Chain A
Amino acid sequence: MAQSLDRLRESPSQTAGPYVHIGLTPNFCGISGVYATDLGATMVNDKTKGERIGLKIRVLDGTGTPLKDALIEIWQADADGLYNSPAELRGAADPNFQGWGRCPTDMETGLCDFETIKPGRVPYQDGRLMAPHVSLWIVARGINIGLQTRLYFSDEAQANAQDPILARIEHRVRVPTLIAERQDNTYVFDVHLQGDKETVFFDS
């Protein structure tokens, strides 16, 4: 006999269900007076450093229909590539940018609209710089465990070509599923849950 590892097991995930708004964006679904504002609804203020950009994200099911009851959270570095997190040991991030946002998909159009800044580059484990990216976490009715992926930027072709995570994607035809198209100051990104254009989701 050897010693026991005495590890606990992660609580199993369960779907966020159709009423995720009640818990995470109550003002959005008409429950007012409990919280002054919905958490994560505003990411930037006048003092936030960096290029203002919009992210327009949709999540499409296996028939190509946009989900209208999903919720997306994003997490990103500041303009200098620093995370506003205790785990960030390389320096102090912009105090006017938390780097985290939350948006329910519009109940009519399925669109999530984030107003944020273009993130700087963050190093990979070995010190190489990753391309600028935003981490996504997607939950909804019918999604049993939150989906992790990233949004990269179409106008960063050179950085994207050297990105160590994008480089790990075996089927190169799938790389574009992680790249948002720039239109003026907005990046448009469709997340496909299934099909030929299925987004590359992560287990990390």
Chain B
Amino acid sequence: MSANPGSNRTPETGAFFQRDRTWHPPALTPGYKSSVLRSPQKALLSFDNTLSEIAGPVFGHAMLGELDADLIHNFARPGESAIGERIIVHGRVLDERGVGVAGVLIEFWQANAGGRYRHKKDGYLAPLDPNFGGCGRTITDERGFYAFRTVKPGPYPWPNGPNDWRPAHIHFSVFGHGFAQRLITQMYFEGDPLIWKCPIVRGIADKAAIEALTAILDTQATIPMDALAYKFDIVLRGRRSSLFENRLEGN
């Protein structure tokens, strides 16, 4: 199951930079009603990382199937493909020091081109696409780069306020090298006016933080006569040098 994701480099073992919790959405964002009864209210217990947070699982490229990073085809019947705007999503996973993070498992999921999820709890009017499942995954290369192919998801209405719509988005789950880097987020699309109206997005206070979740159209990476491209970089917590960290006896 496990494998060394990278190379013969000495693994980094420094603690991660503290999280800036004013940059992330707070637990309680009343405009997003589901957060009201699901948000912890007491102070978090803060402490510098121990090995339990610094270490984390690694995943080898061997676990990936041939079509895992191709949502247009990974659920489609042979010879068929998903309906919708064909896009490439690509970018880099970096840490806060600007260092590319290798061997990072990224999982993504999304609605189909009509804004419908393949899930028994989604009853939206828009039809399922028999050739679209909505999930995929990949692992970053030695320099932190990743890419996958999909169709652009549609926006959809959701039960929150009487007339709330989610902007088109793709969900991302990202592993770093330490369990404390674990992150789930969402990617939005440049120019979508629904971004700024969305109660989930608006849980983020800083406009620059919202822009950091908005992928930019990348015409240079577009595949002519095939697929548009969007660039989306992901930043994980950086880490201290372990040069001056306490060393356990025997290390």
A74 smallest CB distance to B (angstroms): 10
Known: A9-B20, A23-B171. A124 touches B11 (CB 8 A): no
User: What CA separation (Å) do A26 and B56 show in the bound complex?
Assistant: 23
Q: Which residue of chain A has its CB nearest to the CB of B74?
A: A34
A26 adjacent to B185 (CB under 8 Å) = no
B1 smallest CB distance to A (angstroms): 5
Residues of A within 8 A of B2 (CB): 84, 95, 98
B21 smallest CB distance to A (angstroms): 7
Other-chain contact of B68, A35, A86, A87, A168 (Cβ < 8 Å): A35
Residues of B within 8 A of A17 (CB): 171, 186
Q: Does B209 contact A (CB under 8 A)?
A: yes
A19 adjacent to B250 (CB under 8 Å) = no
A186 smallest CB distance to B (angstroms): 22
A200 adjacent to B45 (CB under 8 Å) = yes
- Total A-B pairs, Cβ < 8 A: 284
Q: Does A13 contact B (CB under 8 A)?
A: yes
B23 adjacent to A169 (CB under 8 Å) = no
Other-chain contact of B183, A11, A20, A63, A204 (Cβ < 8 Å): A11
Q: Residues of B within 8 Å of A, CB-based: how many?
A: 100
Q: Does B237 contact A (CB under 8 A)?
A: yes
Residues of A within 8 A of B19 (CB): 10, 203
- What secondary structure prevails in chain B residues at the interface with A? loop
B37 adjacent to A12 (CB under 8 Å) = no
Known: A8-B235, A146-B184. A87 touches B203 (CB 8 A): no
User: What CA separation (Å) do A77 and B53 show in the bound complex?
Assistant: 11
Other-chain contact of B173, A6, A7, A24, A198 (Cβ < 8 Å): A24
Q: Does B194 contact A (CB under 8 A)?
A: no
Q: Does B34 contact A (CB under 8 A)?
A: yes
A98 adjacent to B212 (CB under 8 Å) = no
A87 adjacent to B38 (CB under 8 Å) = no
Stretch in A50-58, A108-116, A131-139, A153-161 touching the partner: A131-139
Q: Does B241 contact A (CB under 8 A)?
A: no
Contacts A20-B109, A98-B2, A144-B35 supplied; 8 other A-B pairs, CB < 8 Å: A7-B238, A8-B96, A16-B171, A18-B122, A75-B52, A87-B51, A168-B45, A204-B49
17 contacts between A and B (CB under 8 A): A11-B185, A23-B173, A26-B135, A29-B120, A30-B120, A31-B75, A61-B37, A62-B38, A69-B121, A87-B11, A87-B12, A89-B251, A125-B50, A144-B24, A174-B42, A194-B39, A204-B47
B interface vs A, CB < 8 Å? 1-2, 4-6, 11-13, 18-21, 23-27, 29, 32, 34-42, 44-59, 63, 65, 67-68, 74-75, 94-98, 107-109, 117-122, 133-137, 171, 173-174, 177-180, 182-186, 200-201, 203-204, 209-210, 212-213, 234-238, 245-246, 248-251
Q: Which 7 A-B pairs have the closest CB atoms?
A: A23-B109, A142-B34, A142-B38, A85-B55, A100-B57, A86-B11, A62-B37
